[in-house]
Copies of this chain bind each other. A is one copy, B any other.
Amino acid sequence: MHSRRAILYMPGDDRRKIQKATTLGVDSICMDMEDGVAANKKAEAREVIAGAMKELDFGKSERCIRINQIGSGLEKRDLIAALATNPDTIVVPKVETAEQVKWVSEHIETYELSSKLNIGSVRLLVGVETAKGIMNLKEIAEADKRLEAIIFGGEDFAASVGAVRTKDATELLYARQAVVTACAANDLQAIDIVFIDFKDEAGLRAEAEEGARFGFSGKQIIHPNQVEVTQEAFTPSDEAIKYAKRIVESFESSQKEGKGAYALDGKMIDMPLLKNAQKVLDRAKAAGKSKTSATDYTDFHGNLKRKSV
């Protein structure tokens, strides 16, 4: 699966900003037709995005297009326009039901068939950003195999429940961890909230690191300054990689010696810690920081289902 440590939103009607985004080395660029575009600029956004997709070199960055939400009256025209640019990924905001996920995926499939593309070649990400979306998380996460990630919209969710956004984001804890859990249960990436104050680098770093600790795979960002800090937070540190390698190696040799759980630096190491270590190595590899990934190691039980990142 494509690494999505940071997904950078850029207004779809602003060619200059989209161009800027392509120079940043960000994992994913999301050209927005929705909230980032004024109501009277929606048609213009479709055209500007089409031009950008045709003329700009996005490098390794994933080319995502966010359409307007289903029920806005704009979604169908947006989707047709977005697919016509041959994007990597469609992003659907404010999804509230499994049916909405299936509706979009089916339209994408029709496009793939008529364009002689392989089925499944266009990826799908959805935003869950309302109370209703959180209530239907399980069904949304299970809805369609095209789906690769759920993006949790913290500001929108707070507005939806009438919560006040704070720096420590306690008001979002339940919803954020519900999203992480539903995603993991379906081998989806979970993408964390935007940090609005783009001048507060320390605040961004803290929130991004917390997101990584919670199990998010990446974070939405809204400003070029946020790319580096965010992607760093979702990349394992050298120290963490080193420790993970020690666990994997010592586990292998202890298994050969017929030991199950064993002590390393005074801590009992067993299967769950091994799996955690393997995830660290997978993430390191996806971020280009490690040559070996845990996937290269023997799967001891034959049932450690892990997604490749």
Contacts and interface: CB of A to CB of B under 8 A. Distances in A.
Interface of A: 11, 13, 32, 34-41, 69, 71-73, 129-132, 134-135, 138, 153, 155-156, 158-166, 170-171, 173-175, 177-178, 180-185, 196-199, 212-215, 217, 222-223, 254-255, 257-261, 266-268, 270-273, 275-276, 279, 283, 300-303
Contact of A254 (B38, B162, B173): B38
Given A39-B301, A174-B173, A138 B135 contact: yes
B11 A261 contact: yes
A251 to B, nearest CB: 10
A178 B185 contact: no
22 contacts: A34-B271, A36-B260, A38-B255, A131-B183, A131-B184, A132-B185, A134-B181, A134-B185, A135-B181, A153-B272, A155-B276, A156-B272, A159-B275, A159-B279, A160-B275, A162-B283, A163-B213, A163-B215, A171-B214, A174-B177, A174-B181, A222-B268
A35 B159 contact: no
Contacts of A180: 131, 161, 163
Given A11-B260, A13-B260, A174-B174, A158 B272 contact: yes
Contacts of A261: 11, 35-36, 222
Given A174-B178, A177-B174, A303-B71, A213 B164 contact: yes
Contacts of A213: 163-164, 166, 170-171
A66 B205 CA distance: 42
A266 B203 CA distance: 14
A132 B181 CA distance: 8
